[in-house]
């Protein structure tokens, strides 16, 4: 028994001696920094070890709170996609989006009830005079659509104007069927309507058969109404309607970017004051939009990046 105890003590002493020797060898090497050192500001610096984070990544992980967007129904597809991917990227942030029209969105950001006012038209001078900043994030085309059975394929700019101001009321005047033209548009205050009428110089001069309160409603009405014509955002086009050529040009991102398609307008995310004056969450949202990943998101919903 005593022999075993003595042997154990000898082994323990050897272990201590070995550890001391190893420590002594290690002290001659350059000191290895801890995997997560911090800067004076308290943010994690970048490391090379697996699973490490940069200062920017760790700072973004601390983002918490909510961002509110109100405005254009034409921007719904883009704003919804942006909200979803941003919340996935920053799980502690909530992005709330409401789609009630461009005018309402600009008013909401102007009076402080929303962080961002989404507008599918340029801001008016009187809106800018209230301290609202115009931040163009994408370019959209306005597509002219008709019911699927319409045989007319192309309209000139003057022909389109003559339809919407009520000068021509039958498709036979354009080589189509002897059928009344049912003129469909958006409600007063819609950014799509404002842009459409401004581009054609038809402000307050359109003769509408129906004025509808959303892009989806226009699509559904045109699809189901013989002889109808309407205008919608480029990114909602599908085969339920017929997409018209204008001046023999199709409404594609390539044609809009080239300037050959004349019905195009900006998508604006308006803020009260410049982006640099916004809170950290709003700044982070715009940083994402202007990033390479954000640019791809803009393209993925059928829009043209503004940057």
Reduced to 3 states, what is the DSSP secondary structure of residue 153? coil
Q: Are residues 131 and 279 in the same domain?
A: yes
- Domain count of the chain? 2
Q: Is 25 contained in some domain? A: no
**How do residues 119-164 score in pLDDT, each as one tens digit?**
999 999 999 999 999 999 999 899 999 999 999 999 999 999 999 9
pLDDT at residue 13 is higher than 50? no
Q: Which residue has the tokens 């949202």?
A: 285
d(CA 25, CA 220): 79
Domain that holds residue 175: 141-264
If you write DSSP's letter for every residue of 61-96 in order, what string do you get?
HT--EEEEEEE-STTHHHHHHHHHHHHHHSTTEEEE
Q: Are residues 198 and 250 in the same domain?
A: yes
Query: Which has the closest alpha carbon to 215: 140, 153, 162, 159?
Result: 140
Lowest mean pLDDT among 25-29, 51-55, 196-200, 224-228: 25-29
Bridge partners, 231 (sequence order): 144
Q: Are residues 270 and 134 in the same domain?
A: yes
Q: Indicate the pTM of the whole model.
A: 0.68
Q: Are residues 195 and 241 in the same domain?
A: yes
Stretch 223-235: mean pLDDT? 94
Q: Are residues 219 and 151 in the same domain?
A: yes
Q: Is 195 contained in some domain? A: yes
**What integer pLDDT is reported at residue 294 of this predicted model?**
97
What CATH number is given to the structural domain containing 285? 3.40.190.10
Read off the tokens for 151: 């045989």
**What integer pLDDT is reported at residue 57 of this predicted model?**
56
Q: Are residues 146 and 207 in the same domain?
A: yes
**What integer pLDDT is reported at residue 234 of this predicted model?**
86
Q: Are residues 270 and 132 in the same domain?
A: yes
């Amino acid at each position: 028994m005593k022999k075993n105890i003595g042997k154990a003590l000898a082994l323990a002493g050897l272990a201590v001696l070995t550890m001391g020797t190893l420590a002594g060898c290690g002290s001659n090497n350059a000191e290895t920094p801890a995997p997560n050192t911090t800067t004076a500001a308290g943010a994690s610096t970048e490391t090379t070890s697996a699973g490490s984070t940069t200062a920017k990544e760790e700072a973004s992980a601390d983002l918490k709170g909510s961002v509110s967007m109100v405005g254009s129904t034409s921007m719904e597809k883009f704003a919804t996609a942006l909200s979803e991917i941003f919340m996935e990227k920053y799980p502690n942030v909530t992005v709330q989006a409401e789609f009630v029209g461009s005018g309402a969105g600009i008013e909401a950001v102007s009076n402080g009830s929303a962080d961002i006012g989404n507008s599918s038209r340029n801001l008016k001078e009187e809106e800018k005079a209230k301290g609202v900043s115009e931040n163009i994030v994408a370019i959209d085309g306005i597509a002219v659509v008709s019911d699927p059975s319409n045989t007319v394929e192309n309209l000139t700019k003057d022909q389109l104007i003559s339809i919407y101001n009520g000068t021509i009321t039958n498709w036979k005047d354009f080589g189509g069927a002897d059928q009344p033209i049912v003129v469909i548009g958006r409600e007063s205050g819609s950014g799509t309507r404002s842009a459409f009428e401004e581009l054609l110089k038809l402000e307050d001069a359109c003769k509408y058969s129906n004025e509808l309160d959303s892009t989806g409603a226009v699509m559904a009405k045109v699809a189901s109404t013989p002889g109808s014509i309407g205008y919608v955002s480029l990114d909602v086009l599908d085969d339920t309607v017929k997409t018209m050529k204008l001046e023999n040009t199709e409404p594609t991102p390539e044609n809009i970017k080239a300037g050959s398609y004349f019905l195009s307008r900006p998508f604006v995310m308006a803020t009260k004051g410049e982006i640099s004056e916004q809170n950290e969450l709003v700044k982070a949202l715009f940083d994402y939009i202007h990033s390479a990943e954000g640019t791809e998101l803009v393209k993925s919903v059928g829009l043209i990046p503004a940057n």
